[in-house]
Amino acid sequence: MIKTNCYVRCETNTIPGLPQENVFCNGLFRKPEDYQQSFIKTMPFEAPFQVFALFSARGNDGAAASVLQKLVREFPDIVRRSIGPKPFQFDIFSEHLVRLMNHHVVQTTDRNHTGIPKISFSVAVIHGNTLRIISAGNTRVFLHRKDQFMCLTKDHTVASELLLSGVISGDEVAAHPKRESLTQYLGKTDKEGLLVPDTTISVDLMASDAFFLLGDGLTRHLSTEEIQAVAKKETDWSAKVSEIVGLSISNGAKGAVSLLLIDVKEVFAPVKTNQPSNHTSSSKSTKQYANRQKEGVSRVRGKQSIKRRLLSILTPILLFVVFAMIGYITMAAILQNRKADLNKGNDDISTVDPEQVLNRIMYAINDQVHIYSEESLDSQSIQILYRGEAVTLISQGSTFSKVISSSGNTGFVISVMISEFDPTIEEALPELEADPTPIPTTEATTSATHSTEATHATSADPTETDVSDPTETSETSGTSETSETSETSET
């Protein structure tokens, strides 16, 4: 059970050609009469199951506005049809929800308009104390928890995929011509491929958590750091919503300015309820049992005769199928052995070592990527990675991946926040304004010269001072002996 406050703010587009946006907040959505002015709402909720959504439609303005209005009006019924039997299973719910929404968009589009709108969406589902995200396109969801501020979604655009594959750098994304070309969206037909949204993010909510659903205009004109700076201010959430919207408009946003902020006020522990006992009268149940027993005897006898007849018919058929399968398996084994004999000796088949696949270098695709001590956003953040910072992948899961940082810290990161391609490759490096090598002064040059001469004098060859040349000694001795001999002869 969760107690929340929902803050909604939507602005009307001031120029044509921008995405049409709408929100859904537990039954509340923007109606046609609300487009004449800013749509500002605050609503409290307390329920075990809560759904919030933000939609951003691209295409012909008339078609996009019409289809989007029909979608949000039918969204409560789509949610009810997607829940399915109890107990609640998120995988089944998300699959049905996306399929029904996409079918609704394709079928309700007015064919007089040019093409089917492409609708980005982010759906936040609270079930019990857990937040789950379903997203496709370029709307985004952020989580604010104490000092942490993190993006829970990724953009499904051509430019984003080029960035993740290393084809372009982070500085090139904003100016890339395909930055708004969606790869996943509502409105996909069979010819355009399968709609595959992100459904892997799951967060156990805590009191004082807050999560943001942001439209295209906000994320295009505000950086993550700017939104985070406002979220950390010591003001109420209503003021923060107004400041974020105002800041985006100051930065040039002319439309697609929509924000849905959910503040988690209180989290209640789940309550276990006992199933009510059956107080049916024992005498009444005994009579009912006796009647059922009598009826059952005749039914059993009839079923037994039917079974005998079916058995006599099915036994030959089953024997034939069994022997046919045995023959098929035998022939397949013989052919497989022959194929193995033909391929024997071919040792050039390349194999992939799983350790080489896992123990590879990955890179953070954004700033403020946290490394957690456990596979949970509630665990301690032991290190923060910045875009392009390398880590070694140990194991990879659908939600979290285990990594070792360059500092030697081992922990878990959100899988979608790392890539095997370095996003900082080919980014422009700051140029040096001057040669960092200092210019030597006259005094320093003179001092260095004297020091060099002293060093040469000290390091002279020791054979010249300490050890006499044996050749020179021999020559001296020979000369002395010759002189003495000459003097003796003269005498």
In a domain, 447, yes or no: no
Domain assignment of residue 362, given as a range:
354-419
* pLDDT for res 357: 54
80 and 205 share one domain: yes
User: Which sign, positive or negative, has the C-alpha torsion 54, 58, 59, 60?
Assistant: positive
Taking the C-alpha atoms of residue 22 and residue 73, their distance in angstroms, rounded to an integer, is 11
28 and 148 share one domain: yes
19 and 114 share one domain: yes
In a domain, 74, yes or no: yes
Contact 362, 391 (CB under 8 A): yes
CA 409 to chain centre: 21
Burial (CB < 10 A; 0-12, 13-18, 19+), residue 83, is middle
Structurally, how many domains does the chain consist of? 2
CATH number where 400 lies: 2.30.30.40
Strand order in the sheet with 361-364: 381-385, 369-372, 410-414, 400-405, 390-396, 361-364, 418-419
* pLDDT for res 338: 77
Reading the chain (491 residues) residue by residue, the pLDDT tens digits are: 899 999 999 999 999 999 999 999 988 999 999 988 999 999 999 999 999 999 999 999 988 999 999 999 999 999 999 998 889 999 999 999 999 999 999 998 866 556 899 999 999 999 999 999 999 999 999 999 988 999 999 999 999 889 888 888 878 887 888 888 999 999 999 899 999 999 999 999 999 999 999 999 999 999 999 999 999 999 999 999 999 999 999 999 999 999 999 999 999 876 554 444 443 444 444 455 445 445 554 554 566 667 777 878 888 898 889 989 898 898 888 888 877 766 655 544 444 454 545 688 999 988 888 999 999 888 899 999 988 899 999 998 888 999 999 889 999 999 888 988 888 876 655 555 555 555 555 555 555 555 555 545 444 444 444 434 444 444 444 444 444 444 434 42
258 and 368 share one domain: no
* pLDDT for res 172: 84
Domain boundary among 267, 286, 320: 267
Contact 42, 7 (CB under 8 A): yes
In a domain, 48, yes or no: yes
Q: Is the peptide bond before 436 cis (omega within 30 degrees of 0)?
A: no
In a domain, 277, yes or no: no
In a domain, 181, yes or no: yes
CATH number where 155 lies: 3.60.40.10
In a domain, 474, yes or no: no
Domain boundary among 222, 246, 267: 267
In a domain, 211, yes or no: yes
Whether the pTM exceeds 0.75: the reply is no
Domain boundary among 206, 232, 267: 267
255 and 399 share one domain: no
Contact 422, 436 (CB under 8 A): no
In a domain, 102, yes or no: yes
180 and 85 share one domain: yes
